Amino acid sequence: MGVTIRTARLADRERIVAISSQIWEGDDYVPQVIDEWLRMRDSEVAVADLNGSVIAFAHAVNLTPGYVWLEGIRTDTAAQGHGAGKALTEYFIEKATREGAERIGLSTYIDNLASIHIIEQYRFVRLASFILAEAKLDGPARPAAELSPLVSAVPFDEARAWILGSASITKSCGFLSQGWKFWPVARPGVVAWPPFDAAIGIRSGDGSLRSLLVVCRPDHGPGGASIDFADGSPEDLDVLVRHALALYPGAKYIQTMIPAGQAVHTNLLETVTGLEFDVWRHGEPDVFVYERAVGQPH
Ligand SMILES: CC(C)(COP(=O)(O)OP(=O)(O)OC[C@H]1O[C@@H](n2cnc3c(N)ncnc32)[C@H](O)[C@@H]1OP(=O)(O)O)[C@@H](O)C(=O)NCCC(=O)NCCS
């Protein structure tokens, strides 16, 4: 019998964690979020069953009615290539179609070749590229943490309006990251915003906001933080990123996704490189956001 897909039950939790522990040398985020995934509303964990045992799983969540985010697709390393990844992808596309959603989004890393193969086979379109940078707890960037008197908290409504008018949101094709989840904040049609944790900025003499940095509430467990938006002059970005590092002193990692639309990245890359964040692949765009209109044929 081939692969069959069904909704995960609480009893599948142990197997899901066991599969996840084989991936990325046990550094996968799924064990930190699986309990929340299993009890969240507007969301489903599905598992793939082959001959009576669970070999793969994935999670889909409605960011808002009409916009589905697909994430956490994993197959047991001993059972890859049996069609589970494709069956899970197809299952969620069909579910989104039945439920009348408009679009499905997802993100992946440049070296996940099997994942990219499946995504493109199911006609997801690559819309945005980002450069991943990270400051680990024991890494060289963290001593640069410094609270600045130039920086003040920005009301979330003002921050959202500023983001919509920024050059950075154009380079990210209208997506705002929340770690590895990318929200369609300025996409045509369906719009959804992530919950913010902190918005900080620097104002000009007349009180207008001239630069902004936003950290969203972490969606991959409380251990890390991510700078999900930062735009402004190189000098301001340096001050804002140092300030943000100081706001999250105990975070295991502080990462950021730097928008790199049409091969032009924002000032943030120079800032985090100067501060000695880890940037892989020599600053080549390495995180891709894909989207698919739900109504189109497979
Ligand atoms: C991505 C992943 C879920 C795929 O699971 P799977 O059950 O092996 O997937 P399937 O068997 O349905 O399909 C695999 C497809 O990828 C292709 N593939 C496998 N390795 C490949 C590679 N290195 N380059 C290109 N294509 C590749 C296979 O040929 C197959 O396509 P085909 O049927 O058209 O020939 C699995 O590789 C995995 O768990 N990877 C680690 C986690 C990950 O990267 N997740 C996605 C990013 S969040």
- 79-106 pLDDT tens trace: 999 999 999 999 999 999 999 999 999 9
The pLDDT value recorded for residue 272 is: 96
Residue 28 Cα: closest atom of ligand 1: 42
Residue nearest to atom 37 of ligand 1 (CA): 114
Residue 39 CA, chain-centre distance (Å), reads 20
State which CATH number among 3.40.50.720, 3.40.50.360, 3.40.1260.10, 3.40.630.30 fits the domain covering 4-101: 3.40.630.30
Ligand 1 contact via 19 beta carbon (within 6 Å): no
Q: In whole angstroms, how far apart are CA 205 and each of 45, 147, 152, 153?
A: 50, 20, 13, 16
The pLDDT value recorded for residue 297 is: 72
Q: How far is the CA of 197 from the centre of ligand 1 (A)?
A: 34
192 touches 202 (CB < 8 A): no
Residue nearest to atom 30 of ligand 1 (CA): 81
Ligand 1 contact via 50 beta carbon (within 6 Å): no
The pLDDT value recorded for residue 31 is: 94
Place of tokens 């309006």: 161
The pLDDT value recorded for residue 70 is: 98
Number of other CB atoms surrounding residue 11 within 10 Å: 8
In the predicted model, is pLDDT for residue 298 greater than 90? no
- φ and ψ of 22, to 5 deg: -80, -15
Number of other CB atoms surrounding residue 143 within 10 Å: 10
- φ and ψ of 272, to 5 deg: -70, -30
Q: How far apart (Å, rounded) are the C-alpha atoms in residues 15 and 47?
A: 10
Q: How far apart (Å, rounded) are the C-alpha atoms in residues 104 and 110?
A: 19
Residue nearest to atom 33 of ligand 1 (CA): 83
Q: How far apart (Å, rounded) are the C-alpha atoms in residues 180 and 219?
A: 8
Ligand 1 contact via 25 beta carbon (within 6 Å): no
Q: How far is the CA of 250 from the centre of ligand 1 (A)?
A: 35
What's the CATH architecture for 130-288?
A: 3-Layer(aba) Sandwich (3.40)
Cite the beta strand spans of 147-223 per DSSP E. 151-153, 175-178, 181-184, 196-203, 209-216
The candidate with the shortest Cα–Cα distance to 87, out of 99, 98, 73, 97, is 73
Q: In whole angstroms, how far apart are CA 81 and each of 77, 202, 288?
A: 9, 51, 23
Span 70-78, average pLDDT: 97
Ligand 1 contact via 153 beta carbon (within 6 Å): no
The pLDDT value recorded for residue 282 is: 87
- Which helix (H) or strand (E) element contains residue 76? none
The pLDDT value recorded for residue 261 is: 78
The pLDDT value recorded for residue 221 is: 75
The pLDDT value recorded for residue 220 is: 82
179 touches 220 (CB < 8 A): yes
- 176-222 pLDDT tens trace: 999 999 999 999 989 999 999 999 999 999 999 999 999 999 888 77
Burial (CB count <10 Å: 0-12, 13-18, 19+), residue 234: exposed
Span 229-242, average pLDDT: 97
Q: How far is the CA of 85 from the centre of ligand 1 (A)?
A: 6
- 113-163 pLDDT tens trace: 999 999 999 999 999 999 999 999 999 999 999 999 999 999 999 999 999
The pLDDT value recorded for residue 264 is: 77
Which is higher by pLDDT, 265 or 211? 211
The pLDDT value recorded for residue 136 is: 95
Residue nearest to atom 14 of ligand 1 (CA): 81
- 12-69 pLDDT tens trace: 999 999 999 999 888 899 999 999 999 998 999 999 999 999 999 999 999 999 999 9
Ligand 1 contact via 82 beta carbon (within 6 Å): yes
Ligand 1 contact via 113 beta carbon (within 6 Å): yes
The pLDDT value recorded for residue 26 is: 84
Q: How far is the CA of 80 from the centre of ligand 1 (A)?
A: 7
Ligand 1 contact via 80 beta carbon (within 6 Å): yes
Q: How far is the CA of 40 from the centre of ligand 1 (A)?
A: 27
Q: How far is the CA of 178 from the centre of ligand 1 (A)?
A: 25
71 touches 181 (CB < 8 A): yes
Ligand 1 pocket test, pick from 117, 126, 180 with the greatest ligand atom count within 8 Å of Cβ, gives 117
CATH 3.40.630.30 residue ranges of the chain are: 4-101
Ligand 1 contact via 84 beta carbon (within 6 Å): yes
Q: How far apart (Å, rounded) are the C-alpha atoms in residues 80 and 82?
A: 6
Place of tokens 């960011």: 63
